[in-house]
Amino acid sequence: MLVTRPGEFSAAWQALPAEDWGAPVARGAMLLAPDGLTAAAVTSADNRYMDPSRSVDAARLHEQHRSLAAALASELPAWVFPGDEATPDATFLNNAFATVPGRLIRGAMRYPERQRETGRGDIRAFFRDVLGYMEVDLAGQGVVAELTGSLVIDRRHGVGYCGLGERCDLAGARAMHEAFGLRLTYAFELAAGEYHTNVVMSVLAGRTLVLCREGFADADAAVALKSAYAGSVIELSAAEKNAFAGNCIALRDDSVWMSAAAAGGLTAANRERFADMGWRIRDVELDEVEKAGGSLRCCVAELF
């Protein structure tokens, strides 16, 4: 079921089956080296987190990305695919590739400059020939759907939260709902200036909601989400969101990953809330990556 109104979502949430839909966290993480990554002028048109005037220190960028891969590997298996300067934004791998058990999903990117990312033969062969996964290609369906950038998924409950805007249209939301085989998808408009849902909210291991109300065009949408996760909500200020605190991810049931800038931007009260809810904050310096308009969550494609 796909719904677009807060009341419809609340009713559908209450009717969800009690049993888990799937594993709440991934069994592996995939990254792609940031060869050629810059604050690209083309994609900055709808990404206000990017400043094309800021140059990227390539050596420091690669060092930070290697540190990210090594840090994630302390919690679960992590693969790093080689980068390609012809597709520099491909380091934000979660827009191009996503998985459910047995199935690889290829995204439908808005910009022609990014549409080549989903054609990576080595990544597709890894899933097809090594893991035996089937493939679903959204790019051929005439939609815009940038996968887990646009769609935040609660894997425990089988529910997707899809922010509509330049990077995802309603047809794209429906295509992702079907490709992931979700029980429920709630599609809502993002606030003006927001490009991806995973910058304004996250669901950690199906038990904690992190969100910023200012990221939603309709405040009632945020209220409905908070009601669903009542008792386990961390609400971010606009300043915390702008530091990428909403661009966080749980790869285990007891730790949450975000960039060092995001962690440093948290208020003392929110740091305490994370701790009270059983989350240990783990952070990595990613300021060079963040110059290109994305942060830690954007770099991680999950293997389920």
Q: Dihedral sign, CA of 180, 182, 185, 190?
A: negative
Q: Roughly how many angstroms between the first and final C-alpha of the chain, as a whole number? A: 22
- Cα-based distances in Å from 78 to 26, 93, 303: 11, 13, 9
Cα–Cα dist 137/124, whole Å = 11
Report the pLDDT value the prediction gives residue 167, as an integer from 0 to 100. 94
Instruction: Name the average pLDDT for the chain.
Output: 96
pLDDT at 304 over 80: yes
Tokens of 265: 């931007």
**Interval 96-101 mean pLDDT:** 98
pLDDT at 24 over 90: yes
DSSP string for 207-230:
TEEEE-GGGBSSHHHHHHHHHHTT
Domain count, the chain: 1
Cβ contacts of 8 within 8 Å, gap of 6 or more: none
**Interval 81-99 mean pLDDT:** 96
In the β-sheet with 134-137, what is the strand arrangement from edge to edge?
Answer: 97-100, 103-106, 134-137
Residue 304's SS3 state is coil
Q: Give the CATH number, domain containing residue 161.
A: 3.75.10.10
Report the pLDDT value the prediction gives residue 194, as an integer from 0 to 100. 96
Could you tell me the pTM of the whole model? 0.96
Report the pLDDT value the prediction gives residue 42, as an integer from 0 to 100. 65
Cα–Cα dist 257/250, whole Å = 6
Cβ contacts of 70 within 8 Å, gap of 6 or more: none
- The percentage of the chain sitting over the pLDDT mark of 70, rounded to a whole number, equals 98
Cα–Cα dist 112/92, whole Å = 15
- The percentage of the chain sitting over the pLDDT mark of 90, rounded to a whole number, equals 91
Tens-place pLDDT, residues 124-172: 999 999 999 999 999 989 999 999 999 999 999 999 999 999 999 999 9
Domain that holds residue 285: 2-303
